[in-house]
Amino acid sequence: MPHSTSHASCCAGLRQTLLQGWQQDFPLHASPFRQMAARSGATPRELLRLCQQLHRSGALQVIRPCWGEGLLRQRWRLAFDAGAMGAQLSAALAALPGCAQVERAQPQTGMPTLWAEVEALDEAALDRQLRRLPVQPVARLQLPSAAPDALPCDDPPLAERLEAGLDLCSRPFAQCARRLGCSECKLLAKLQAWRRGHQLAGLALKPPPTGVPRAGLLALWLSAEPTADNLALLRAHSCVERVISTPATPAWTWRLSVLLRAAPRLAQDQLREIAAQAGLAQPDHCALLQIEQPRDQPLLFLTSDGVPNAA
């Protein structure tokens, strides 16, 4: 009986490790589960079997890449006047391969009701995705998304295969290499080179994103001119998720926008306090948000738009 209790405790600990560990450091090794087992205290067979069980139950995804700052790509913030098509447009945005976040705003006069962040290899790839939507954006802004010396992907078929996911098996890289018609050694060497060049942050074995929306607040200023100190004070707040300060253009008319993580009943008070501490007037527009995360990382290569992804 003590052995049974000890085994159950070990299995529970192993499950917790799988659901919390290897978020970006799945081993780039011919026998990754052997490497992982040595660190977790399980046998490779136990570890792999539990991974497969968790995957079948929906608690664990397959092995996928986490792209690094060295990979050349673009990130865009988009605003939509959804009107009566809010639910349809929100679902269509979440279905875009490159969509990382959808924000549904409470209706406010003069403020778009739906916001999204989408990544793509370039603007042409972004436009191909946007053509799938029933409504086009009323505002768009390119955000900083890569290092100044970022490079385009030199092997899009491999990148697409990685985004499709590596199988949970004892030799996932060997299986991937067979599908691509190359050797396992060559494939692993390419992944190591991408990691050294920061195009690949790592491979991840982790749970899917939660389907529960989180609460937030979006504040917009039309004519604010924040100083570097103002911006630093804004970004220092733990509940501030994003600060965008940019010259106004016809495509993006707001000089400053701030996205807060906040409970609805506290959000307005937090915004007033944060703006005052940063030396800013109150915003021209603000709205409570429901923020959804369709996927834990945008798909850049597995876009299924019928057009080859040239990097």
CA angle 281, 286, 289 (to 5 degrees): 145
Q: What is the pLDDT of residues 163-198, one digit of tens each?
A: 999 999 999 999 999 999 999 999 999 999 999 999
Query: With 80 as the cut, is the pLDDT of residue 209 above it?
Result: yes
Q: Report CA torsion sign: 48, 295, 218, 253.
A: positive
Q: What is the pLDDT of residues 68-122, one digit of tens each?
A: 999 999 999 999 998 889 999 999 999 999 999 999 999 999 899 999 999 999 9
Gyration radius of the chain's alpha carbons: 22
Q: What residue spans define the domains of the chain?
A: 2-68+152-204
For residues 101 and 86, give the distance between their C-alpha atoms in angstroms, rounded to a whole number.
Answer: 15
Q: Tell me the CA distances in angstroms from 18 to 11, 66, 229, one per residue in order.
A: 10, 17, 42
Q: Residue 5 — very low, low, confident or very high, per pLDDT cuts 50/70/90?
A: very low
* CATH level 3 topology of 2-68+152-204: Arc Repressor Mutant, subunit A (1.10.10)
Dihedral (Cα; 196, 199, 205, 208), 10-degree rounding: 160
The model carries a pTM of 0.87
